[in-house]
Homo-oligomer: A and B are copies of this chain.
Amino acid sequence: MSTVTRQLKLGAFMRPVSIHTGAWRYPGAWRDANFNFTRLKYLAQRLEQGRFDAFFMADHLAVLNMPMEALRRSHTVTSFEPFTLLSALAQHTTHLGLVATASTTFEEPFHIARRFASLDHLSEGRAGWNIVTTSNPDAARNFGLETHVEHADRYARAREFYDVVTGLWDTWADDAFVRDAASGDYFDPERLHVLGHAGPHFSVRGPLHIARPVQGWPVIVQAGASEAGRQLAAETAEVVFAAHGTLEEGQRFHADVKGRMRSLGRDPDHLKILPGAFVVVADTVDEARAIRARLDALVHYDSAISSLSVALGSDVSHLDPDGPLPDSLPESNASKSGRERVMALARRENLTVRQLAQRLGGYAGLSFVGTPRSIADEMQQWLETDAADGFNVMFPWLPGGLDAFVDKLVPELQARGLLRREYEGTTLRENLGLPRPQNRFFAPRS
């Protein structure tokens, strides 16, 4: 196949390192992969060998909301905190982007601006900020709030939060620090801007007491799929982590968000849309499917059947686990499209109730399960039909699922010209092909 000029951008999802709830039980898997720094260092270094753009750390401000019978089986309950982990990983890598999730709901913009600037300096320009709003009521209760802020207000707050943070990053001109030992001037006061922000949600004076980040601003990442989320992404995001089940959904989202960017006068190439993808690669399709079936079988049935009942909006725990899902189920107020998608999945793959439940309890989103060639075909199709600019990859388990991706799939993608052989630059922006933002308060000195 001929070399293509457009290439896939690859993120690697973490927290947990495998989204699949059975991953830690897989034979040979590192059971403590989420919480042993040695394992995470291995992960980061392998990602760099595989020429990934970024390590993407999701985050939560509470133990995940689930009943104790499911929670006790979850490998997500202990995890490093993103800023500390990524600063440590920066010391063991040289090109990998380091994206931390930070909530605009329970944080202060001054702290967030400072921490990302510090991470960007410590990593020499590899930081990214995944801006999220937090809707988990258990998180609210960790910060003294009993009820949760409304969706619309969360987004208005998020937008103002972003304005304050980016304004604080621009406190100092890039050339502010003259450090002139002879005169005694450490900086040039003309190259310092005091923000003085006063808005409906935040009042923040500044200045920020850290130099402008290496990248100007760390890369801005978002994941919101709602109307408000898409608009915020079109206005501000440079990477979007999306969740699409099908190519057509990907195409619709891609066209919508990039269209919004054009309306706003933004270059659509300055935003990379990366759907999450669970990737199981093996030498044959049958082997890959067997790995997935084995993984799914490790999802505890109690957790699995309750996931299925939630998805269908109907208690199905009385059904025969080894029989098929009935063609009709009682009406419910569960999302109709979600319910139909689940029922279609059962029919398409001819799954028993148990298998379907374990699929949902493991990972039921976009998956590529096959050989290096079949998966490269699928990824190429997503790229070439404008359904994605790349993927945010989820590995089935560590280290085997990761190793298979890097050792088998990456060479195939590189041979097709779909993935870089060497990094283009040293910063995350350079590798993603994103411009360095101008300082809004200071033009470069002529």
Question: Residues on A close to B: CB < 8 A?
Answer: 24-25, 31-32, 35, 37, 60-63, 68, 71-81, 83-85, 87-88, 90-92, 106-108, 110-111, 114-115, 117-119, 121-122, 138, 141-144, 172, 177, 179, 181, 184-189, 202-207, 209-211, 298, 300
Compute how far the CA of A118 lies from the CA of B80 in the bound complex, rounded to whole angstroms: 5
The minimal Cβ–Cβ distance linking A37 to chain B, given in whole angstroms, is: 6
Interface centre among A74, A172, A184, A203 (most CB of B within 10 A): A184
Would B83 and A144 count as touching, CB distance under 8 A?
Answer: no
Q: Is the interface of A mostly helix, strand, loop or mixed?
A: loop
Would B74 and A186 count as touching, CB distance under 8 A?
Answer: yes
Given the known A-B contacts A87-B87, A181-B24, A204-B143, are A211 and B35 also in contact in the complex, defined by CB atoms under 8 Å?
yes
Known: A35-B211, A87-B87, A88-B122. 9 other contacts (CB 8 A): A24-B181, A61-B110, A72-B189, A73-B184, A80-B118, A81-B117, A85-B118, A108-B143, A144-B203
Interface centre among A81, A205, A298 (most CB of B within 10 A): A81
Stoichiometry (number of copies): 2
Residues from chain B with a CB closer than 8 A to the CB of A88 are 87-88, 90-91, 122
Residues from chain B with a CB closer than 8 A to the CB of A73 are 184-186
Would B114 and A81 count as touching, CB distance under 8 A?
Answer: yes
Residues from chain B with a CB closer than 8 A to the CB of A117 are 81
With beta carbons under 8 angstroms apart, the residue of B37, B78, B110 that contacts A209 is B78
Interface centre among A75, A80, A188 (most CB of B within 10 A): A80
Would A77 and B179 count as touching, CB distance under 8 A?
Answer: no
Compute how far the CA of A166 lies from the CA of B361 in the bound complex, rounded to whole angstroms: 34
